[in-house]
Amino acid sequence: MKKPASSLNLVDTNQLFKVTEWARAHALPGAPEKGPTLSYSELLRSVGEFRKSHGLRTPDASLAFVSMDPTNKSQQKFPEALERMGYAVERLDYRHNYVAPIGTGSGDVDRTERPSVASLGPQLAYVLGVMTGQATASGPKPEVVLVSGGFEVFGPLSHFVRRTGGVAVLAFFRRFVDARWITSGLLDPGGPIRFMDLDPHAEALLGVDLAKVSRTATSTDRGGIDSIF
């Protein structure tokens, strides 16, 4: 019988893609022609260093969730590249990840209209539930490093810690973390969930300094009087 995984990295590639898109839209002069691209190999290295410095075990696996069109051959390259880096990849049909408004599918709703919000939260929550259910008093305390800024999994992640006594780490760029993580106090020092801020690793991960990009975005996005004087 296969031994259950008790220490995992869970990676929300959808959230990371949103950060990359933002960085590309506000790229500084001199940035690579294709714009910032997230280095998933550097992400593994950075998370591994965090684990080591905070006394966490080497993960049993790093599971990346990828939202994609399964019929598009060109989109296969990304998950295949992740697998070569050492990730286990869960391929998800992008059409299944949109949060549909009430009424979708009824006769008076345009079925071709794509809901605007996509989330991998349910998939992440499922894995957290499996890990919680498999934890035993005699086994090692479960550990999870969740790379995501979304708030959808705060309940399952909090329950994971309460129920198992294990370790949970939220790893993401602080400036892009859903504000509810901060206002809830869940990421306060000494709180139930540890936090790994990826902002200091931005240049290694994205090839750009997010602090500089953020200042540029703030100044160039102004309109009205600021656009004249």
Residue 170 lies in a domain: yes
Query: In this structure, are residues 120 and 147 in contact, taking their beta carbons and an 8 Å threshold?
Result: no
Tens-place pLDDT, residues 202-229: 999 998 888 777 655 544 445 555 444 4
Tens-place pLDDT, residues 138-176: 888 999 999 999 999 999 999 999 999 999 999 999 999
Q: Can you give the pLDDT at residue 219?
A: 42
Residue 163 lies in a domain: yes
CA atoms within 13 A on the CB side of 9: 27
What distance in Å separates the CA atoms of residue 196 and residue 136, rounded to the nearest whole number? 27
Residue 50 lies in a domain: yes
Residue 133 lies in a domain: yes
- DSSP classification of residue 118: B
| pTM, full prediction | 0.84
Q: How confident is the model at residue 116 (pLDDT cuts 50, 70, 90)?
A: low
Residue type, 204: A
Tens-place pLDDT, residues 70-93: 888 888 999 999 999 999 999 998
- For residue 64, give its domain range: 7-227
Phi, psi of 212 (to 5 degrees): -70, -40
Tens-place pLDDT, residues 23-72: 888 765 555 556 788 999 999 999 999 999 999 999 999 999 999 888 88
Q: How confident is the model at residue 185 (pLDDT cuts 50, 70, 90)?
A: confident
Tally of domains within the chain: 1
Residue 1 lies in a domain: no
Residue 2 lies in a domain: no
What distance in Å separates the CA atoms of residue 34 and residue 31, rounded to the nearest whole number? 8
| CATH number reported for the structural domain that contains residue 91 in this entry | 3.40.50.1010
What are 187's two structure tokens? 């990421």
First-to-final CA distance of the chain: 70
